[in-house]
Amino acid sequence: MHHHCEVWIPTNQNVEGQVEEVMEPYYEGNNPVEGFWDWYQIGGRWKGVHVPEYDQATDPDHLEACKLCKGTGNRPGWVYYKNGVRKFRDDWSKKCNGCNVCHGTGKASIWPTSWEPHPKDVIPISELPDGFDCYTLLLPKGPIHWEQGAWPKEPAGELLKEVNKLKLSLALERAEISIGYLVTVDYHS
């Protein structure tokens, strides 16, 4: 399962090296008791999360020709033309607009592990968006994990997000961290 982690680092120099140093003690292969990850990357599935208006789904750097329909938007056997009018084999192919991967656009997202990090995947703490939350916060004293007990769109999920927002702010405050940087990390456990 993939989780969203924010890693605190003191400077924005050699970010990858600093993140590696902070993450290393928690690698499951070396620390089966306290380890919580077996793979990670900066950004990944949470690329651009510090930028509320950023949309991963529409980032042109994430798109390629759909392999299933070969970039046509028409999956073989799902779409046909009659008198120049596009028709669908059945309700499902119509609901998918001709292809259940690209939904008729001819473009599909590349795998998130292939995405390059967003420039704002590393931000000063002072630029942390209001109400920001994450699954794991990794500080010099160790990790803080918040369990996600409900889907974000459900009422309980919204309440949990509000609680987590307070926890993130309080965790930084209690750790006496007001400067430095947060790096968005996608990790697998």
Q: What is the mean pLDDT of the chain?
A: 88
State pLDDT tens for residues 65-91: 999 999 999 999 999 999 999 999 999
- Does residue 160 carry a pLDDT above 70? no
- Find the mean pLDDT for residues 26-43: 94
Whether pTM exceeds 0.85 = no
Per-residue pLDDT at 153: 46
Q: What pLDDT, on a 0 to 100 scale, did the predictor assign at position 148?
A: 47
Dist. CA 77–CA 75, nearest whole Å: 6
Confidence of residue 100 (pLDDT cuts 50, 70, 90): very high
